[in-house]
Amino acid sequence: MIKIAFIGAGSVVFTRELLTDICSSPELSGCHIALHDIDADRLATADAVARWTAGALNAAPVITSHLDRRAAVDGAQYVINMVQVGMHDATLVDFEIPKRYGLRQTIADSYGIGGIFRALRTFGLLEDLATDMAAAGADGAWLLNYTNPMAMNCWFTYASTPVQNIVGLCHSVQHTTRHLANLAGVPFAEIDFVGAGINHQAWILRLTTDGRDLYPAVDAALARDPESARRVRVELYRRFGYFPTESSEHAAEYVPWFLNHDDQIDHFRIPIDEYVNRSEANLRYYERTKEKLAAGEGFSLDRSVEYAVEIIHALETGDARVVYGNVANVGLISNLPEGACVEVPCVVDADGLRPQKVGDLPAQCAALNRVTLNVAELVVRAALDEDPAQIRRAAMLDPNVSSKLTIDAIWSLCDDLVEAHRERLPQPLRVTLTR
């Protein structure tokens, strides 16, 4: 029996979507789904979501729930990680302390000062998860990681743990290509595309239908709607020549040109503190879900565009497909650093998951990616080398942070965040350096 472990199953939105995908697949609907969360209440809710979903879709998976993570991964062939360490309370810290320094953020989960500290508090979880997988005989399982910051988390895992079958999964490529197909007026099923770069900062390098370049049709659609130009990702497309895969609210905080300028925030309609609002909405959704389940009510069940279940299905059935995954750069993108975590197309079938070589990115796209990867590399090195100074250097190199704060302010900000997150950080990094 196929066993799929959900780590952080109390994240009920992801759990519901992935369970819908599994239970909608005849080849997977009888698998063993092992749910894990450290919060007993959230675990019980996830269990109820799983059983309601299976019943609604006439599927018959074996469903087990575990407060003990090792029991959940024991014998699993697939481990899906969707943990947010610290949850809403940690999110508030990542926004409120930088705000005292005048630093604006939108999402704060992938890069920037928020992404740096989200990575640092997630590395310990990934290390412990890898240890449990090895002890439970699941170190050869596929670790399908959804937890941000994607590039840093995957890079740390394959660089420092026995788990090498790891792929980071996102939905930015899926949503972006559907958006571009809509702009071009072509059904998504009829387009052909290639994208590559790094997570949340990849680029659609080719967009065609029957060999015809669709970028002119995208340009024409944008020209017909002047308001569409008031988006950060459209501005980046205009300046870099290739459409970026991440949403405008994410992209705005990865570069130095927007968040420190009031007129740019207004013009590009940038939602400051957006993730705080989303996090609060997720808390409300969780409570509503509990109430509905307690009342015997259900919820809508629609197949998602997530790659996790597509990968599992392809590996188990041999039904080949192409997905976009975040993997180690081993000769894949030649003008990005070897070993860095990059996002590329991957062929998946019964023989495994095979990242595809892209070669050189356009010079300007690679240049921006390298700026972002410089920060990611120093964060990973901080943990690998147990060197707290590398945290500060990463922040110094971050475009949004460095365009606003002095060096002294950056080091002081990092000290404040270390103090606030102390118990969530690896022991060697729980030190302040300027006081």
SS (H, E, C) the chain: CCEEEEECCCCHHHHHHHHHHHHCCCCCCCCEEEEECCCHHHHHHHHHHHHHHHHHCCCCCEEEEECCHHHHHCCCCEEEECCCCCHHHHHHHHHHHHHHCCCCCCCCCCCHHHHHHHHHHHHHHHHHHHHHHHHCCCCCCEEEECCCCHHHHHHHHHHHCCCCCEEECCCHHHHHHHHHHHHHCCCHHHCEEEEEEECCEEEEEEEEECCEECHHHHHHHHHHCHHHHCCHHHHHHHHHCCEECCCHHHHHHHCCCCCCCHHHHHHCCCCCCHHHHHHHHHHHHHHHHHHHHHCCCCCCCCCCCCCHHHHHHHHHHCCCEEEEEEEECCCCECCCCCCCEEEEEEEEECCEEEECCCECCCHHHHHHHHHHHHHHHHHHHHHHCCCCHHHHHHHHHCHHHHCCCCHHHHHHHHHHHHHHHHHHCCHHHCCCCCC
Active site residue 421: no
Q: Which of 32, 171, 175, 267 is catalytic?
A: 171
Residue numbers annotated as active site: 171
